[in-house]
Amino acid sequence: MDYIKRRQRQWEKKWSREAELEAKKEAERVAIMEAEARKQEEIAARKKLLLEQQEAERLRQKHIQAKEKLVEDKWNEQLEILLAQQAKTRAENNKLEEIRIIIQNREPSLQELGWTSWLSDPLNQELADLDYEHAMEMFKRDNLMAKRRHGTRGHGRYVNNILSFTGEKAADAAEDYVTTDFDPDAYELWKGFTVSYWVRPDEQTATSAAFGRRNGSSKERFFFGISNARTWIGVGHGVLNHSLAKHGMTIGEWNHFVVTYDGDRTAGGTDTRLVYLNGELHYPLTPPGNVRWNQHRGDYGGGGHNIYFGGRNNNGGYTHGWACGLSEVAIFNTVKDTDWIENVYNTNGLLRPRSRRGAQKKLDFRDQSGLVGYWKFNEGSGTTVTDYSGNGNHGTFAAISGDTTAYPTWDSTPFSNS
C-alpha cells in the first residue's frame, strides 16, 4: 500500500513537471507569434509611411510643375501680347510711311473736284484705302487750295455739301430717303434728349418729316418736321403742333431747329418739351402727363424703331417724305440749355463774308457730352451718310422704287457744316 502511494506521488510529480514544461513551451510559442505579429505590423506601418511619403512627394512635384507651367503660360501670353503690340506698331509705322510717301509724291488738284473725280487719281484712291479720314482732309485741302488759286479768297462764300430730298408730294418726286440703324430706345432717350438740326424747306406741305420714326403703337414717336405752316414734331405719346407764323419759315432758306425733352415723370405728372427756332424759343410746350413717352418701350411691337432721313419710318415703311435740304443732325441724351442753343445757331449757320466775321468758326459736336448720333451730311458723293458720334449708325441711301437713280442728291450750299 505504501508502495502504491509512493508511486502515485512520483507520477504526480512527473505529470506536474511535464505540465509546467508544456506550459513553458506554449508561452514561448505565444511569445514568438506575438513578436512575429508586431514585426509584421511594423513592416506594414513602414510600407504605409513610405507610400504616404511617395504620394506627398508626387503631389509636391505636381504642384511645382503646375506653378512652372502657369509661369510659362503667363510668360508666353505676355510675350504674345508684346509681339502683337510690336507687330501693330510696325504696321502703323508702315502705314504712316506709306501715307507720307503718297502725300510726298501726289500732285494736288489744280481745280475743284467731286469726291469720285478726286479718287480717280490712283494715289488718292490708295490714300483713301489706307486712311479714309486722312484722304477726306486732303480732298478738302485740295479743293480749298484750288479755290484760292482761282481767286475766291475774300469773296466770303464757301461751298459745302448737304443732302437734298425730293419728298413724296410732287408729281416728279422720287420718294428718296436714307435709312439708319439709329434706334432712340437703344439710348434711352425717353429719359431726356436734345435734337439739333438744320433744314431747308423746299416745299410747304402737310405732315412732312425731315427725319424720324413712328412705331406701330403711336406711343413712341420720335420725328421732326412741319405740317403746313406749323411744327409737326412727335415725341413719345404726343405731337407738338404750333404755328410758325411768329418766327416765319421761308421756302429755300435754312432754319435751325432744336427740340429738348426733359424725360418721363411719374404718373399724372408733366414733362417739358421745348422747341427753338433759329436760336430763339419758338414755343414752350408742357402737355399733360398722358402724352408722355412711355418708359415701357418695345411693348407695342411694330418694326419702325430706327429713324429715316428725308421722311419718317412708319412701322417699317417710308411715309411723310419732305422735299428739303438737311445738314448737321445731332442727337444728345442730355438736355442742352439756351446758351448752347444760341451758340450753335450763331456759329454753324450760313457763312458770311470774312471781312465781317473774321475766320469762319465751326462747331464739332464729337467732343461734347451726351452725343449719341451725329450726321454732318458733308460727304458730297457716294451713298453713305457717316455717323460721327462713334456709334456706327451710318445712313444708307434708299428709294421706294428701288431705282438707284431715285436716290437723294448731294447739294452745294453756302452752309457751314463742319
By C-alpha distance, which of 388, 367, 376 is closest to 417? 376
C-alpha cell at 17: 513537471
Name the pLDDT band for 124 (thresholds 50, 70, 90): confident
Q: What is the spatial distance between Cα 409 and Cα 407, in angstroms, rounded to a whole number?
A: 6
pLDDT at 298: 47
Residues 195, 221 contacting (CB under 8 angstroms): no
Residue in the block written with cell 486712311: 131
Backbone angles phi, psi at 363, to 5 degrees: -90, 140
Range 74-98 average pLDDT: 86
State the CATH class of domain 162-413: mainly beta
351 vs 56, residue with greater confidence: 56
Cβ–Cβ < 8 Å for 120, 385: no
pLDDT of amino acid 356: 36
- Name the pLDDT band for 194 (thresholds 50, 70, 90): very high
Q: Is the pTM of this model over 0.75?
A: no
DSSP letters of 296-355? STTTT--S--S-EESSEEETTEEES--EEEEEEEEEESS---HHHHHHHHHHSSB---HH
Percent of the chain's residues with pLDDT above 90: 25
pLDDT at 328: 92
pLDDT at 3 over 90: no
Q: What is the pLDDT of residue 341?
A: 94
Instruction: Report the candidate in 286, 78, 309 with the shortest Cα–Cα distance to residue 208.
Output: 309
As given in the structure block, the three cell numbers for residue 400 are: 421706294
CB 285 within 8 A of CB 195: no
Distance from the first to the final alpha carbon of the chain: 152
The phi and psi torsions of 168 (rounded to 5 degrees) equal -135, 0
Domain boundaries along the sequence of the chain: 12-105, 110-149, 162-413
| pLDDT, greater one: 206 or 195 | 195
What distance in Å separates the CA atoms of residue 376 and residue 362, rounded to the nearest whole number? 12
pLDDT at 115: 84
Percent of the chain with pLDDT strictly greater than 70: 79
The closest of 155, 135, 149, 144 to 113, measured between CA atoms, is: 144
Q: What is the pLDDT at residue 360?
A: 43
For residues 213 and 306, the answer to whether their CB atoms sit within 8 Å is: yes
pLDDT at site 340: 94
**C-alpha to C-alpha distance for 172 and 323, rounded to whole angstroms:** 11
From CA 242, how far away is CA 8, in angstroms rounded? Answer: 148
Q: In terms of residues, how long is the chain?
A: 418
The enclosing H or E element of 156 equals: none
Average pLDDT (28-47) is 90
Residues 6+ apart with CB under 8 A from 51: none
Average pLDDT score over residue span 307-313: 94
What are the tens digits of pLDDT across the range 352-407?
A: 444 333 334 568 898 899 999 999 998 888 889 999 999 999 999 987 766 666 78
Q: Is 70 exposed, middle or buried (0-12, 13-18, 19+ CB in 10 A)?
A: exposed
Mean pLDDT of the chain: 80
Q: Which of 314-318, 321-325, 346-350, 374-378 has the lowest mean pLDDT?
A: 346-350
pLDDT (mean) for 58-74: 88
C-alpha cell belonging to residue 362: 465751326
